Chain A
Amino acid sequence: MADKVILLDFWPSPFGVRARIALREKGVEFEYREENLRDKSPLLLQMNPVYKKIPVLIHNGKPVCESMNVVQYIDEVWSDKNPILPSDPYQRAQARFWVDFVDTKLYEPADKIWQTKGEEQETAKKEYIEALKILESELGDKPYFGGDTFGFVDIAMTGYYSWFEASEKLANFSIEPECPTLMASAKRCLQRESVVKSLHDSEKILAFAYKIRKIYCV
């Protein structure tokens, strides 16, 4: 049976980006469906009744939810090319640990940077940079978090890399002087074909961020 793969997504989402990249890394043909988050489709509500969020991967009619869960699933199903997780159990545990760190420590400050202003935004900025510095320390001299090859943690981070420029403009700071080697790795990731095809340009993301700030009355 031919594989039918649908991705329910929202174009600026740093989480949706992860699923798109993973599918393209594996050369999987998929149908991208844009969701209007203020008017979610019946399909989205049916396929992700617990969280009602994107991205949702629908593979031959069956849903997989939560972005890094989707990435692991894609890696396991289309295991013949471009492995995303390493094969060694210890390295896999380290990759999972750092993805968990990214999702618990970057998420809130990143959100607060574009949802708030003044002192609250300053605090968020500091926390964000602190978390990025820890990640940079973990990256060390490696071209990618995965070592020589683009992998699980790099995919998780690329969603945030796509928002770097917008975050810098919104909170008036520059990430590169704080985290130069992380930025070098980010640039490397952002040039990858699967990433280029999966991202919208940073101008569009910035325009979207300003729009959202108006809604939050910032």
Chain B
Amino acid sequence: MANEVILLDFWPSMFGMRTRIALREKGVEFEYREEDLRNKSPLLLQMNPIHKKIPVLIHNGKPVNESIIQVQYIDEVWSHKNPILPSDPYQRAQARFWADFIDKKLYDAQRKVWATKGGEQEAGKKDFIEILKTLESELGDKPYFGGDDFGYVDIALIGFYTWFPAYEKFANFSIESEVPKLIAWVKKCLQRESVAKSLPDPEKVTEFVSELRKKFVPE
């Protein structure tokens, strides 16, 4: 039976970007469907009734939800090329730990950077920088988080980069000056075809965030 793969997604989502990259790393043909999050499709609500969120990966009619779970699923189903998780159990545990760290810490911190102002934003900015520094320290001298090969943690993190100019604009700081090695890693990742094809233009993301910010921070 031919593989039918549909991805329900929203273009600026740093979570959707993970799944796009993983599918492209594996050379999987898929149908990308843009969701309007203010008017979610019946398919989205049916395929992710618990959280009603994107991305939703639908493989031969069966849904897989949560981006980091989708990346693991993609790696396991299309296991013949470009392994995403390492084969060694200890290295896998480390990769999962760091992807989980990104999900637990980075999302909430970055949200404060663009969706708040004043003291709350300053505190958010500090947290955000500290988290990026922790990640930069984990990267160390390695070309990618997993070592020589692009993998799981790189995929988990890279989408956030498209939001960096928005963070810098609204919280008035330079991310590169805080974490130069991390930015060097970003540039390396952007040269990868799966990444370049899956990430939106950061300028467009900044415009989008600008509009969104108005809802949270009336000027």
A-side residues, CB < 8 A to B, are: 50, 59, 62, 64-66, 69-70, 72-73, 76-77, 89-90, 92-93, 96-97, 100-101, 134
A135 shortest CB reach to chain B, Å: 10
Interfacial chain A residues near B37, Cβ < 8 Å: none
With beta carbons under 8 angstroms apart, the residue of A59, A69, A97 that contacts B96 is A69
In the complex, which residue of chain B has the Cβ closest to the Cβ of A104?
B51
Q: Does B2 contact A (CB under 8 A)?
A: no
- Contact code string B88-104 (vs A, CB < 8 Å = 1, else 0): 01101100110011000
- Contact code string B76-119 (vs A, CB < 8 Å = 1, else 0): 11000000000001101100110011000000000000000000
Contact B50 A101, beta carbon cutoff 8 Å: yes
B83 shortest CB reach to chain A, Å: 14
Q: Does B134 contact A (CB under 8 A)?
A: yes
Contact B50 A134, beta carbon cutoff 8 Å: yes
Most interface-central of B59, B96, B97 (chain A CB within 10 A): B97
Known: A89-B76, A93-B72, A101-B50. A65 touches B97 (CB 8 A): yes
25 CB contacts below 8 A, A to B, read A50-B101, A64-B90, A64-B93, A64-B97, A66-B100, A69-B93, A72-B92, A72-B96, A73-B92, A76-B89, A76-B92, A77-B89, A89-B73, A89-B76, A89-B77, A90-B59, A90-B73, A93-B69, A93-B70, A96-B66, A96-B69, A96-B72, A97-B66, A100-B69, A134-B50
B28 shortest CB reach to chain A, Å: 13
Q: Does B192 contact A (CB under 8 A)?
A: no
With beta carbons under 8 angstroms apart, the residue of A66, A90, A96, A100 that contacts B97 is A66
With beta carbons under 8 angstroms apart, the residue of A59, A66, A92, A100 that contacts B90 is A59
Contact B90 A93, beta carbon cutoff 8 Å: no
Interfacial chain B residues near A92, Cβ < 8 Å: 72-73, 76
In the complex, which residue of chain B has the Cβ closest to the Cβ of A79?
B89
Interfacial chain A residues near B190, Cβ < 8 Å: none
In the complex, which residue of chain A has the Cβ closest to the Cβ of B69?
A96
A33 shortest CB reach to chain B, Å: 20
Contact B93 A73, beta carbon cutoff 8 Å: yes
For the A-B complex, the count of residue pairs with Cβ-Cβ distances under 8 Å equals 52
Complex-state Cα separation, A73 to B94, whole angstroms = 10
Contact B93 A93, beta carbon cutoff 8 Å: no
The tally of residues in B whose CB lies under 8 Å from a CB in A reads 21
In the complex, which residue of chain A has the Cβ closest to the Cβ of B99?
A69
> Closest 9 A-B residue pairs measured CB to CB?
A89-B76, A76-B89, A73-B93, A93-B73, A64-B93, A93-B64, A96-B69, A69-B96, A77-B89
Complex-state Cα separation, A72 to B69, whole angstroms = 13
Interfacial chain A residues near B96, Cβ < 8 Å: 66, 69, 72
Complex-state Cα separation, A100 to B90, whole angstroms = 21
In the complex, which residue of chain B has the Cβ closest to the Cβ of A62?
B90
B70 shortest CB reach to chain A, Å: 8
Complex-state Cα separation, A62 to B90, whole angstroms = 8
Known: A89-B77, A92-B76. A97 touches B97 (CB 8 A): no
Given contacts A92-B72, A92-B76, A96-B69, 15 further A-B contacts (CB under 8 A): A64-B93, A65-B97, A66-B96, A69-B93, A69-B97, A73-B90, A73-B93, A77-B89, A90-B62, A92-B73, A93-B64, A96-B72, A97-B65, A100-B66, A100-B69
Interfacial chain B residues near A76, Cβ < 8 Å: 89, 92
Interfacial chain B residues near A93, Cβ < 8 Å: 64, 69-70, 72-73
Complex-state Cα separation, A62 to B94, whole angstroms = 10
Contact B69 A97, beta carbon cutoff 8 Å: yes
Most interface-central of A59, A77, A97 (chain B CB within 10 A): A97
Interfacial chain A residues near B62, Cβ < 8 Å: 90
Complex-state Cα separation, A59 to B70, whole angstroms = 28
Complex-state Cα separation, A194 to B76, whole angstroms = 29
In the complex, which residue of chain B has the Cβ closest to the Cβ of A64?
B93
Interfacial chain A residues near B97, Cβ < 8 Å: 64-66, 69
A43 shortest CB reach to chain B, Å: 18
Complex-state Cα separation, A134 to B49, whole angstroms = 11
